[in-house]
């Protein structure tokens, strides 16, 4: 099955223009806050109505403005997990899980028990949502959706209301649980780590528009677009002047760079991730032929210490902008002035 969404909706301040057809099983939508990610999910679920367009899941048309088809959310079979989970506070865990099951008592009870077990909620059946931890609430919300047996599951910022130290474990748990689901899952997030771990396909959204859709790892490796590079966490982006097919001038950094790919006319920027940059230490004999290029003399402008890594802003004397550089603590910079290498294969050519 695939999900086809091609819709237009006028919103306050911007237009929502979504045009995607998914191939993956777990699709991530990455975008800044307020770019229309959540609105896109709401439109798919039928909570909000687009002005025009088409929404199709497999062969089933959920919305088509031309044919005046607009299924109510009740008929779409689209599960939606809200940012705050939207559990019904007056119902117990059991009652919450069973609320979307429309079967006779015995089969309903069986489905509830199944989901309680799958989501490790044994012993909490009679509790109210207010008496559960954030992680437990999330599992109840998922159990409730699974019990409803939707064709698609939409997860809106699934981890934003959880403590950070809980998150890593829960991302892992969620990944395991989602594997049991047969339909598609769309996950909206502004957190690139979550998306990278959870999703095999990635959609990049900016100011209401879907800019890019493709394999998650591929987009992180080669972002193609400036917006995609920024959203996937690339801190170093500079405008360029093309010199020849494989050489360019990075204007913000004051450096001539050799690149692996051919520089087409559409390329306007070059980017490199902070952890891909290498420091060249004179004491180490690794000045092989390939690092004679793409070397820049810089000074340390700013140092930021994190628990397990160091981040620096380095700047060439004549450059306009600094360059972010990330290193593990063992490789911390000891001097004020140093040489860095921007490896050719790590440079991303961006439109």
Which residues would be at the binding site for other proteins (CB under 8 A)?
Answer: 42, 45-47, 72-80, 82-84, 86, 88-90, 99-100, 102, 144-145, 148, 150
**What's the DSSP call for residue 164?**
H
CB of residue 248 to other proteins, shortest distance in Å: 48
How far is 10 from 130, CA to CA, in rounded Å?
A: 37
Nearest CA-CA partner of 227 in 41, 20, 35: 35
Of 85 and 196, the one with the shorter C-beta distance to other proteins is 85
Question: Using an 8 Å Cβ cutoff, are 53 and 16 in contact?
Answer: no
Of 65 and 83, the one with the shorter C-beta distance to other proteins is 83
Of 188 and 348, the one with the shorter C-beta distance to other proteins is 188
- Tokens encoding 215: 């394999």
- Tell me the three state secondary structure of residue 154: strand
How far is 25 from 216, CA to CA, in rounded Å?
A: 12
In order of 70, 234, 263, 343, the CA distances from 251 in angstroms are 51, 17, 16, 18
Q: Cα 334 vs. chain centroid, distance in angstroms?
A: 35
Of 79 and 208, the one with the shorter C-beta distance to other proteins is 79
Of 74 and 244, the one with the shorter C-beta distance to other proteins is 74
> How many CB atoms neighbour CB 179 within 10 A?
9
Question: Using an 8 Å Cβ cutoff, are 111 and 103 in contact?
Answer: yes
Which residues have a Cβ under 8 Å from the Cβ of 105 and sit 6 or more positions away? none
- Nearest 5°: phi and psi at 32? -70, 165
Cα-Cα-Cα-Cα torsion 78, 84, 87, 92, nearest 10 degrees, comes to 140
Of 99 and 295, the one with the shorter C-beta distance to other proteins is 99
CB of residue 140 to other proteins, shortest distance in Å: 12
CB of residue 87 to other proteins, shortest distance in Å: 8
Q: Sort strands 348-350 and 255-258 into parallel, antiparallel or unpaired.
A: unpaired
CB of residue 164 to other proteins, shortest distance in Å: 23
CB of residue 141 to other proteins, shortest distance in Å: 8
Nearest CA-CA partner of 60 in 75, 41, 79, 81: 75
Of 90 and 221, the one with the shorter C-beta distance to other proteins is 90
CB of residue 220 to other proteins, shortest distance in Å: 31
CB of residue 99 to other proteins, shortest distance in Å: 6
- Tell me the three state secondary structure of residue 153: strand
Question: Using an 8 Å Cβ cutoff, are 279 and 333 in contact?
Answer: yes
Of 97 and 274, the one with the shorter C-beta distance to other proteins is 97
CB of residue 147 to other proteins, shortest distance in Å: 9
């Amino acid at each position: 099955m695939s999900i086809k969404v091609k819709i237009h909706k006028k919103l306050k301040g911007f237009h929502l223009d979504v045009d995607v057809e998914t191939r993956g099983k777990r699709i991530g939508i990455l975008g800044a806050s307020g770019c229309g990610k959540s609105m896109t999910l709401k439109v798919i679920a039928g909570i909000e109505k687009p002005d025009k367009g088409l929404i199709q899941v497999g062969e089933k048309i959920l919305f088509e403005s031309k044919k005046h088809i607009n299924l109510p959310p009740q008929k779409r079979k689209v599960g939606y997990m809200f940012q705050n989970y939207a559990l019904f506070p007056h119902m117990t865990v059991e009652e919450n899980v069973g609320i979307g099951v429309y079967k006779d008592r015995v089969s309903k009870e069986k489905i509830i028990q199944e989901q309680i077990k799958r989501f490790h909620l044994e012993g909490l059946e009679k509790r109210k949502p207010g008496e559960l931890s954030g992680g437990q609430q999330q599992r109840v919300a998922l159990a409730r959706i699974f019990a409803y047996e939707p064709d698609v599951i939409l997860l809106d910022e699934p981890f934003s209301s959880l403590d950070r130290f809980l998150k890593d474990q829960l991302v892992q748990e969620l990944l395991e649980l989602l594997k049991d689901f047969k339909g598609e899952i769309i996950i909206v997030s502004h957190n690139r780590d979550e998306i990278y771990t959870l999703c095999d396909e990635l959609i990049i959204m900016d100011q209401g528009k879907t800019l890019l859709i493709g394999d998650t790892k591929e987009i992180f490796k080669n972002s193609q677009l400036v917006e995609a590079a920024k959203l996937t966490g690339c801190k170093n982006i500079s405008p360029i002047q093309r010199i020849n097919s494989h050489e360019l001038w990075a204007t913000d950094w004051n450096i001539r760079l050799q690149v692996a790919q051919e520089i087409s006319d559409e390329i306007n920027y070059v980017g490199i991730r902070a952890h891909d940059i290498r420091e060249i230490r004179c004491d180490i004999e690794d000045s092989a032929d390939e690092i004679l290029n793409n070397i820049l003399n810089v000074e340390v402008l700013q140092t930021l210490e994190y628990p397990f890594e160091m981040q620096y802003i380095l700047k060439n004397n004549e450059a306009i902008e600094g360059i972010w550089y990330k290193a593990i603590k063992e490789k911390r910079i000891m001097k004020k002035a140093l040489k860095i290498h921007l490896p050719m294969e790590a440079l991303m050519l961006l439109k």
